[in-house]
């Protein structure tokens, strides 16, 4: 079947920082084309797990990406192949919108022609006006900043999109609108997604699968579309509180 190659295979992945087990024996699999949300309260280890999956955080245990030991990949090249929206500061404020969006393509040595062609496409996809491109990123409104950050992440047509709480700063209306639009688009292009959030409704909107973290441990995993009768005590509390 198309798109069903194994993307990630984690076995007993742990991260220790001083005396704290930030991640404790995490094991799961993700197939290519699937969208996984990494859920959990603040401080549970979500960002750390994302960094491990991006190859920028040291871990112990076994981690395979497309059947290869992740610790043996060239981590700079691997990072550049990913679409990424970080938590918090979404754009580089000293760069124009255009330079933010095309940054990764430049690092990958795209030609000017390739860049211009793709710029037209992403402006259309994200409903962004061309005259926005020459503005300084610091002058762009919150909702537009979010769109630009997503446009930047998808600019190079990555196989994997990595999102760390990208919608948290938006007001409810804007968030709902952007999430619906964005989720439709992601399904259409069939990209794999890792989506970190503490919001169950955001997770359900974008993803079919989830894992739930609590204090560095994976307490639950599942599929939003299936009955979840066998949740852990923590899982019942977490899902029940929404
Ligand atoms: P989340 O993204 O779920 O809020 P993080 O992965 O950022 O959680 O952090 C998980 C835990 O690891 C927190 O308790 C945090 O304080 C701790 N932590 C993260 N980075 C470091 C670090 N560099 N040194 C020590 N503790 C850290
Ligand atoms: Mg975080």
Mutate to test the pocket of ligand 1, among 14, 15, 17, 194 (most ligand atoms within 8 A of CB): 17
Bridge partners of residue 96, in order along the sequence:
136
Mutate to test the pocket of ligand 1, among 15, 40, 45 (most ligand atoms within 8 A of CB): 45
Burial letters 141-179, b for 16+ CB under 10 A, else e: eebbbbbbbbbbbbbbebbbbbbbbbbeebeeeebeebb
What is the pLDDT at residue 180?
A: 87
Predicted confidence (pLDDT) per residue in 164-180, tens digit: 988 877 788 888 888 88
> SS3 sequence, the chain?
CCCCCEEEEEEEEEEEECCEEEEEEEEEEEECCCEEEEECCCCCCHHHHHHHHCCCCCCEEEEEECCEEHHHCCHHHHHHHCEEECCCCCCCCCCEHHHHHHHHHHHCCCCHHHHHHHHHHHHHHCCCCHHHCCCEHHHCCHHHHHHHHHHHHHCCCCCEEEEECCCCCCCHHHHHHHHHHHHHHHHHHCCEEEEEECCHHHHHHHCCEEEEEECCEEEEEEECCCCCCCCCHHHHHHHHCC
- Ligand 1 lined by 42 (C-beta under 6 Å): yes
The reply to whether ligand 1 has any atom less than 6 angstroms from the CB of 45 is yes
pLDDT at residue number 228: 60
Q: What percent of the chain is modeled with pLDDT above 70?
A: 96
Atom of ligand 1 nearest to the CA of 164: 2
Q: What is the pLDDT of residue 138?
A: 87
Between CA 185 and CA 193, with CA 187 as vertex, the angle to 5 degrees is 100
133, pLDDT greater than 80: yes
Does ligand 1 have an atom closer than 6 angstroms to the CB of 48? yes
Q: Please report, rounded to a whole number, the percentage of residues in the chain having pLDDT higher than 90.
A: 71
User: Which residue's alpha carbon is nearest to atom 26 within ligand 1?
Assistant: 17
Q: How far is the C-alpha of 115 from the C-alpha of 14, rounded, in Å?
A: 39
Is the Cβ atom of 12 under 6 angstroms away from ligand 1? no
- Ligand nearest to the CA of residue 216, numbered in listed order: 1
| CA 236 to ligand 1 center in whole angstroms | 24
Please list the residues that pair with 64 across neighbouring strands: 9, 69
- Is pLDDT of 90 > 90? no
236 CB-near residues (< 8 Å, 6+ apart): none
pLDDT tens profile 14-25: 999 999 999 999
Is residue 2 scored above 80 in pLDDT? no
Q: What confidence tens digit (pLDDT) does each residue in 105-126 have?
A: 999 999 999 999 999 999 998 8
Quote the ligand 2 centre to 103 CA distance (angstroms): 24
pLDDT in tens, 192-225: 999 999 889 899 999 999 999 999 999 999 998 8
Q: Above 80 in pLDDT, residue 80?
A: yes
Torsions phi, psi for 139 (to 5 deg)? -95, 5
Atom of ligand 1 nearest to the CA of 198: 3
Cα of 112 vs centre of ligand 2, distance in Å, is 35
pLDDT recorded at residue 147? 87
pLDDT at 91: 87
Q: How confident is the model at residue 242 (pLDDT cuts 50, 70, 90)?
A: low
Measured from the alpha carbon of residue 43, the closest ligand is: 1
Query: Which pLDDT score, from 0 to 100, does residue 225 have?
Result: 83
Instruction: Give tens-digit pLDDT for 30-67.
Output: 999 999 999 999 999 999 999 999 999 999 999 999 99
Tokens of 142: 């919150």
Of 49-53, 68-72, 116-120, 135-139, which gets the smallest average pLDDT?
135-139
């Amino acid at each position: 079947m198309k798109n069903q190659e194994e993307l990630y295979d984690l076995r007993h992945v742990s991260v220790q920082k001083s005396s704290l087990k930030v991640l404790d024996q995490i094991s799961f699999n993700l197939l290519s084309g699937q969208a996984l949300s990494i859920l959990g309260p603040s401080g549970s280890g979500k960002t750390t797990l994302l960094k491990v999956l991006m190859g920028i955080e040291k871990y112990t245990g076994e981690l395979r990406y497309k059947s290869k030991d992740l610790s043996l990949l060239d981590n700079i090249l691997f990072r550049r192949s990913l679409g990424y929206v970080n938590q918090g500061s979404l754009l580089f404020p000293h760069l124009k919108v255009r330079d933010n969006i095309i940054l990764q393509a430049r690092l990958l040595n795209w030609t000017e022609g390739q860049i211009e062609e793709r710029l037209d496409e992403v402006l259309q996809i994200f409903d962004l006006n061309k005259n926005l491109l020459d503005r300084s990123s610091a002058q762009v409104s919150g909702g537009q900043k979010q769109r630009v950050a997503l446009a930047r992440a998808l600019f190079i047509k990555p196989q994997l999109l990595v999102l760390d709480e990208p919608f948290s700063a938006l007001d409810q209306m804007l968030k709902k609108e952007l999430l619906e639009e964005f989720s439709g688009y992601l399904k259409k292009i069939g990209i794999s997604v890792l989506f970190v959030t503490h919001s169950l409704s955001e997770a359900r909107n974008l993803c079919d699968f989830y894992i739930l973290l609590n204090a560095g441990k994976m307490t639950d995993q599942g599929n939003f579309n299936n009955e979840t009768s066998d949740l852990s005590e923590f899982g019942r509390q977490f899902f029940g509180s929404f």
